[in-house]
């Protein structure tokens, strides 16, 4: 193994993104749920793909994007997620390893193909995601290498995985191993519809199992079934040790029992494609957190990473985040 | 079939590009031939890919890029080229059809995988291509649908295909069918090393079989084994009916027996990646030519298409070339 300890070990759905830019009419014509992640079956994927404009392929997957971001800052990251031994599986593995992330899992020699997410980006830079989970959805406890997970300071899990029983069991195993090893457990709520599907379990997790929770405003409000953001923020402060709530152009707020810290957003230019923005915010925050920075500074790493991500098509950094961070003046507090 | 007649039918190596941005050191460290297209075998491809940074995948293939460009202007284009029934083959077929190009060839159910081109783009925006031809290289005369080829006003062939005997026979068949149907035959010389490998045959083709030849300065000089561009231009004027010689930032020159027409270049902003520039120049020129424009105007369509192409990563138009053309002021002659 490349290093003995990891700043963060991520567990998630391993996915290759298929990204096309479309007009808003495409979203309505195909009855897509704008801005959300919708699960689709293989048949629907074939039909939707056939109707899409020419696309590009880029490795994605929420937690994998986050690990790539951490590595881009210079952090030590490892990943657990399942791809098939097929062309897209090889693309996924290559891109993650080339980003500097430890990813030792063997490509599965049988089963459904590697997961694809058909992403439509509208002129407002919003992304609408349609995921055909393929083999990623067959992640199971045996796929979770206990030694790897125990080597992480933080174990970071996707809420998306809660959609499938075996994957949920895999995450629970990872969380248990992490706790036993004295690691922190982090969870992203992933998507408002995902929160809707699993609210009771997510509440349990946030109250009892999770040390660091990531959510955007809509997701945290959905978790507590309120339209009052302040109410949602107040409640999450009593639960997780640290909560990071992202607010798009308004930046983020980092909350603990004692503090509420507002962090400004940062952009590198026009916003082109918001795919991966939340994943990269988490990357920056976790890089700062695991390298001992204060919470404001950790949030600022998140702002830089998210700002780079939304300046181009594709969910992972296209330049060194460590170099970018060194170039951007620190914000006034 | 979508339309009964095509402005252009392209024949070429059907390839998916794997594109990464690298520093110049990568090119020298891996002993790559900067700016050229080098054929590599599957083993070399695995090794080179493993050493590449994270990449994106985008459909490519020289003649396929040209057909996508013609369709983007609103022209009727069809394509002949071979992919395997695999994930990258489906990507290639989708992207070409979604661009509006007629591509009816069945995905091959056996044989090597779909071709990949590992492309390294250096900070000067130059692309260095390393092609693993896979099944594209097994194009043979039976793959050339005579009815389709006979329906084109122009049949456009890649010099790249000359690297393989069966593909060469396929091209010769396409040229013969085109001549019989009264269509024009166009050829791109593709690459200086490619010209080097096939100079005698290319000279024969240009003198006897080809009506319209596309080349850059280095390729046309290589064809006539001279370092004197004027000498090369003088000689090609006596051969092909029309010769289009591209000159990067200096634009292009269109030559016939009677005329030498200089056409300015056009750019949409900073040059990011020159992959596909020549292919898109040919797209614009052929669109103008087949829609009855004068040669200067046809060249200008080429300049617009090439200028759009080099403004982003990836070898095909990322916006409608018809719309772009309408927005750009006509050049002063």
**Residues of chain A contacting residue B58, judged by C-beta atoms under 8 Å apart:** 56-57
ipTM over 0.85: yes
- Which homologous superfamily does the CATH classification assign to the domain defined by B6-13+61-112+137-327? Ribokinase (3.40.1190.20)
**Residues of chain A contacting residue B93, judged by C-beta atoms under 8 Å apart:** none
pLDDT in tens, A25-68: 999 999 999 999 999 999 999 999 999 999 999 999 999 999 99
Q: Does A57 touch chain B (CB under 8 A)?
A: yes
Average pLDDT over residues B86-111: 97
**Residues of chain A contacting residue B114, judged by C-beta atoms under 8 Å apart:** 87
- The 10 Å Cβ neighbour count of residue B74 is 15
Residues 6+ apart with CB under 8 A from A22: A52, A53, A120, A121, A122
Nearest to A56 among B53, B57, B96 (CB): B57
pLDDT confidence of residue B1: 45
Distance, CA of A313 to CA of B54 (rounded, Å): 14
Average pLDDT over residues B14-36: 97
User: Both tokens of residue B145?
Assistant: 């649908």
User: Both tokens of residue B184?
Assistant: 């024009």
* Angle ∠(A194,A199,A205) on CA atoms, nearest 5: 105
pLDDT in tens, B287-328: 999 999 999 999 999 999 999 999 999 999 999 999 999 999
Answer whether A331's CB lies under 8 Å from A262's CB. Answer: no
User: Cβ contact (<8 Å) for B58 and A59?
Assistant: no
**Residues of chain B contacting residue A99, judged by C-beta atoms under 8 Å apart:** 53-54
Q: What residue of B is the nearest CA neighbor of A54?
A: B95
Average pLDDT over residues A242-249: 97
Distance, CA of A250 to CA of A263 (rounded, Å): 8
pLDDT in tens, B63-94: 999 999 999 999 999 999 999 999 999 999 99
Q: Does B59 touch chain A (CB under 8 A)?
A: yes
Q: Does A99 touch chain B (CB under 8 A)?
A: yes
Average pLDDT over residues B128-153: 96
Measuring CA to CA, which residue among B87, B112, B122, B75 is closest to residue B16?
B87
What value does the mean pLDDT of chain B take?
96
| Residue A284 confidence (pLDDT) above 70 | yes
Least confident of A1-10, A251-260, B2-11, B294-303: A1-10
Q: Does B54 touch chain A (CB under 8 A)?
A: yes
Average pLDDT over residues A153-168: 93
pLDDT in tens, B244-276: 999 999 999 999 999 999 999 999 899 999 999
Distance (Å) from the alpha carbon of A112 to chain B's nearest alpha carbon: 13
Nearest to B94 among A49, A87, A95 (CB): A49
- Which of A 284-303 lie inside 8 A of B, CB atoms? none
- What string of DSSP letters covers A62-79? HHHHHHHHHHHHT--EEE
User: Cβ contact (<8 Å) for A54 and B21?
Assistant: no
CATH of domain A6-12+61-111+138-327: 3.40.1190.20
Answer whether B149's CB lies under 8 Å from B181's CB. Answer: yes
| Residue A1 confidence (pLDDT) above 60 | no
* Angle ∠(A193,A194,A198) on CA atoms, nearest 5: 115
- Which of B 66-85 lie inside 8 A of A, CB atoms? 68
User: Cβ contact (<8 Å) for A316 and B54?
Assistant: yes
Distance, CA of A176 to CA of A168 (rounded, Å): 12
| Residue A2 confidence (pLDDT) above 80 | no
Query: For chains A and B, what is the number of CB pairs under 8 angstroms?
Result: 62
**Over pLDDT 90: what percentage of chain B?**
95
**Please, which pLDDT band fits residue B57 given cuts at 50, 70 and 90?**
very high
pTM: 0.96
Q: What residue of B is the nearest CA neighbor of A86?
A: B87
Q: What residue of A is the nearest CA neighbor of B315?
A: A56
Nearest to A53 among B91, B98, B114 (CB): B98
**Over pLDDT 70: what percentage of chain B?**
99
**Please, which pLDDT band fits residue B221 given cuts at 50, 70 and 90?**
very high
Residues 6+ apart with CB under 8 A from B20: B52, B53, B54, B55, B56, B118, B119, B120, B121
**Please, which pLDDT band fits residue A119 given cuts at 50, 70 and 90?**
very high
Average pLDDT over residues A188-216: 96
Residue keyed to tokens 């296209």 = A318
Measuring CA to CA, which residue among A39, A8, A11 is closest to residue A140?
A11
Q: Does B52 touch chain A (CB under 8 A)?
A: yes
What value does the mean pLDDT of chain A take?
96
pLDDT confidence of residue B44: 97
pLDDT confidence of residue B224: 97
pLDDT confidence of residue B332: 81
pLDDT in tens, B172-201: 999 999 999 999 999 999 999 999 999 999
Q: Does A58 touch chain B (CB under 8 A)?
A: yes
Average pLDDT over residues A105-118: 97
pLDDT confidence of residue B137: 87
Q: What residue of A is the nearest CA neighbor of B319?
A: A21
């Amino acid at each position: 193994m490349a290093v003995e300890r990891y700043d963060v070990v991520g567990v998630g759905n391993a996915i290759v993104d298929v990204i096309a830019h479309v007009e808003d009419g495409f979203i309505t014509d195909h009855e897509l749920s704008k801005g959300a992640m919708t699960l689709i079956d293989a048949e629907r994927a074939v039909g939707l793909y056939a109707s899409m404009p020419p696309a590009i392929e880029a490795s994605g997957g929420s937690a994998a994007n986050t690990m790539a971001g951490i590595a881009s800052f210079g952090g030590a990251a490892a990943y657990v997620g399942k791809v098939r031994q097929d062309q897209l599986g090889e693309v996924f593995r290559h891109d993650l390893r080339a980003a500097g992330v430890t990813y030792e899992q063997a490509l599965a020699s049988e089963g459904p193909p590697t997961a694809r997410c058909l992403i439509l980006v509208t002129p407002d830079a919003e992304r609408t995601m349609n995921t055909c989970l393929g083999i990623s959805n067959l992640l199971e406890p045996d796929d979770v290498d206990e030694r790897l997970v125990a080597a992480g300071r933080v174990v970071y899990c996707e809420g998306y995985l809660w959609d499938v029983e075996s994957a949920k069991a895999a995450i629970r195993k990872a969380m248990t191993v992490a706790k036993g090893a004295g690691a922190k457990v982090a969870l992203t709520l992933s998507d408002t519809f995902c929160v809707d599907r699993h609210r009771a379990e997510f509440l349990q997790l946030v109250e009892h199992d999770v040390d660091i929770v990531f959510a955007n405003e809509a997701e945290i409000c959905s978790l507590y079934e309120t339209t009052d953001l302040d109410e949602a923020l107040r409640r999450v402060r009593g639960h997780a040790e640290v909560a990071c709530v992202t607010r798009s152009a308004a930046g983020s707020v980092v909350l603990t029992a004692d503090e509420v810290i507002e962090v400004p957003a940062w952009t590198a230019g026009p916003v082109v494609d918001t795919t991966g923005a939340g994943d990269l915010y988490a990357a920056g925050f976790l890089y700062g957190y695991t390298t001992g920075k204060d919470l404001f500074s950790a949030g600022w790493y998140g702002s830089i990473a998210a700002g780079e991500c939304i300046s181009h098509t594709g969910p992972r950094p296209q330049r060194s985040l460590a170099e970018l961070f060194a170039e951007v003046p620190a914000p006034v507090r």
